[in-house]
Structure 1
Amino acid sequence: MIRCMVLDTGDMSSSKVHVDESDPTGYEEPPFESRDVQLRKGKLITDEYDIIDGLLGKGKFGKVQKCKEHKTGRLLAVKFIKIHDSQMKKDVLNEIEIMKCLQHPRLLQLYDAFEGKDNVCLVLELITGGELFERVINDDFILTERASVMFLRQICEGMEFMHSKNILHLDLKPENILCLTRQGNRIKIIDFGLARKYDPKGDLRVLFGTPEFMAPEVVNFDTVSPATDMWSIGIICYLLLSGLSPFMGHNHDDTLVNVTCAVWDFNAEEFESVSSEAKDFISSLLIKNPVLRMSAKECLEHKWLRKSKKREGNLLDRSLSKKRLRKFVYRRKWQKAVNAMLALKRMGVQLS
């Protein structure tokens, strides 16, 4: 089990959280038994669950609340998705089918599903730890390269499983990586609304995603593959270690141009405290040609993530600056708030 180690300095308000990077041992207990979830029609979610007041999250899809199953007393989350048209209904059904294939400890688990008159309710594993980046920037959290190794290894474990099932996430970004609990350091990859099944012999192309994390082949509307997700992991790693977004421009168009050029570097002073192994890991992912990028399996065998490999001594235990990472997180939260207001206006909601 991955644990937190709190150093007692006499004043709990000034305690610092150090990550225990020891590898998980033993069997990881699943949140609930394996389930073959079928979309239930003509049945109200409130027939089997109590919906608990208060929001866990809100977005363009609808809202997420906590719920409690009558039969077992189990606490779960419920995602209410407003269905506006047939395409949205198709997308939600696709999300359900994909989540049924993704029974893995690094991936959010689906528990139940209900179809109402104008919405679909997905009952999900309850995640209480919040977004990974928000947790990391807390004043009481000591961010080290060793902690980053632990987080990136878990992300790659989740993606290795998804790709083994021929499923692409296609929307990997910090907001979609959560901490399982507020005390532990296990992560969960969430939000499979844009995920797609992948045929290695097919020609899958998409034109969606978040500009800062989109791979060049998405921007250019070329064929996507598991390597598309690996590019996004490279961006997440670069951000976590430095707080810098390598391709961010003044606006979305500038960002997309930067992505297609795929020119970046380690010149910022923040990388002076980063090991050569970490830089090699990033360099093996942020490659314009997707064929040349590491796969998730290769990432787990890379010298930076490999469990048995001795790394660059005390360099991995040095505290990393979080100044720029805080600015990134605050900027993303502001952008989400603005986007939510614009979405409400498009729906005709009057804002006071």
Structure 2
Amino acid sequence: MIELGLADESLIDELMELTAQSIGELEIQEHFNIVKEIGRGKYGKVLLVTHGTPMALKVMPKSSTKLQGFLREYCISLHLSCHPCIVGLFGIAFQSKEHYCFAQELVIGKDLFAVIKPKQVGIPESSVKRCVLQIASALEFIHSHGLVHRDVKPENILLLDTNCCQVKLADFGLAQKRGTLIRFIRGTLPYMAPELCSVALLDNQKEVTVPPLSVEPSLDTWAFAVVIFCILTGYFPWEHCMDSDSFYLEFADWCRMKKHSYIEEDIPPLWRRFTPEAMEMFGKLLAPDASLRSAVGEVRAYVEKDWLKKDY
């Protein structure tokens, strides 16, 4: 595994260097037929275009995107795109006067966030399990190549059908090599592991006082488990994994019990809809201590078991 990771690291560096040397300049409108905009975020936007074949063109403004960041995302995405549960790439990357762009497989359908039903009801358990197995496979593939996705969330899981028979993991904008050091991040999200929240710059804070954090697959495991909770229930288990969040503290206290209790009164209220088997799974995937956290493949041991109680 270590040797493979090092080989991949060298290959990605080489890909970045070659792409930087060969990246051409052209204007989108002159070479592509723009059909419509199909996505937008902090990174920029995604356009549905045709160039002989339909494709999704990711367009990132130069004003807010460093060339190295663009090259890293493109080359990591290209390197991993052979996996059936990861969005494919066409090997087309270029720059215009104002943007960096690359072309990826067009996935016709919604993202997972769009199909989570409102009113605290997630999607059917059978669909969740189909989705979870595919994303676990994608993450294992990423981790086997010495990389960490770092942005696993429902918005980055694309559905080719509403029953989750085929899903694809997207967006490698935050992906990094395993072992990369993070000195700080800005703000927190519900998917961020407690060790990642510890290096978050909060309101009015100018620096963090903890040592830099090493990027590890356990960050993806945590986010993956939070996604499972979200798509089963339709809501987040907490706002952020910090002592100021009582929902997180309740769960962390339950996790730290020497022997997990599955008596309903001992389980935090938000988690009481889950079976003891599901709680055992969550206890492994969401261990507050990253060194005790299971790998994403642990879910396979639980897919044949019920996750939600019948009477909830």
Please name the residue that 1:109 is paired with: 88
Amino acid at match of 1:276: P
Match of 1:81, SS state, is strand
The one-letter code sitting in structure 2 at the alignment partner of 1:84 is S
How well do the aligned residues superpose, as a CA RMSD in angstroms?
Answer: 3.5
| 1:274-293 pair list within 5 angstroms | 274-293=274-293
Change (3 A) 1:138 1:131: farther
Q: CA contact under 8 A between 1:76 and 1:125: conserved in structure 2? A: yes
Shift of 1:58: 1.3
Q: Which residue of 2 aligns with 1:295?
A: 295
The equivalent residue for 1:75 is 54
Distance 2:87 2:298 in 1: 23
Residue of structure 2 in register with 1:173 after alignment: 153
Q: How far apart, in 2, do the equivalents of 1:209 and 1:167 lie?
A: 23
Q: Which amino acid aligns with 1:146?
A: S
Deviation at 1:68, TM superposition (A): 0.9
Q: Give yes or no for contact 1:170–1:209 (8 Å, CA) kept in 2.
A: no
Aligned to 2:190, what secondary structure does the other structure show? helix
Classify the secondary structure of the residue corresponding to 2:136.
helix
**Aligned residues of 1:131 and 1:174 also touching (Cα < 8 A):** yes
Q: Which runs of 5+ in 1 are unaligned?
A: 1-35, 321-352
2:110 to 117, 125, 130: 130
Q: 2:271 & 2:292 partners in 1: Cα distance?
A: 27
Contact 1:56 1:66 in 2 (8 A): yes
1:99 alignment partner in structure 2? 77
Contact 1:146 1:317 in 2 (8 A): no
| 1:89 matched residue in structure 2 | 67
Equivalent runs, 1:1-352 vs 2, <5 Å? 38=19, 40-52=23-35, 54-70=36-52, 74-84=53-63, 88-103=66-81, 104-111=83-90, 112-137=92-117, 143-182=123-162, 185-199=165-179, 203=181, 207=185, 210-221=188-199, 222-248=213-239, 254=244, 258=248, 262-263=252-253, 266-268=267-269, 271-272=272-273, 274-300=274-300, 302=301, 304-305=302-303, 310-312=304-306
Q: Specify whether residues 219 and 136 from structure 1 end up closer, same or farther in structure 2 by C-alpha distance, changes over 3 A only.
A: closer
- Quote the residue 2:5 is aligned against: none
Percent identity for Structure 1 against Structure 2:
28
CA distance in 1, matches of 2:87, 2:299: 21
* Corresponding residue pairs, total: 267
Q: Is the 8 A contact 2:250 2:268 kept in 1?
A: no
> Which residue of structure 2 lines up, in the alignment, with residue 9 of structure 1?
none
Tell me, what secondary structure is at the counterpart of 1:188?
A: strand
| TM-score calculated relative to the size of structure 1 | 0.65
Q: Is 1:220–1:260's contact at 8 Å kept on the other side of the alignment?
A: no
* CA 44–224 in structure 1, closer or farther in 2 if over 3 Å, else same: same
Q: Residues 296, 229 of structure 1: CA spacing in aligned structure 2 closer, same or farther, 3 A cutoff? A: same
The Cα of 1:258 is off from its aligned counterpart by 4.6
1:258/1:279 Cα in 2 relative to 1: closer, same or farther (>3 Å)? Answer: closer
> Which residue identity is paired with 2:61?
K
1:50, CA displacement in angstroms?
1.5
Instruction: Give the stretch that moved more between structures: 225-234 or 88-97.
Output: 88-97
Cα contact 1:146–1:316 (8 A) shared by 2? no
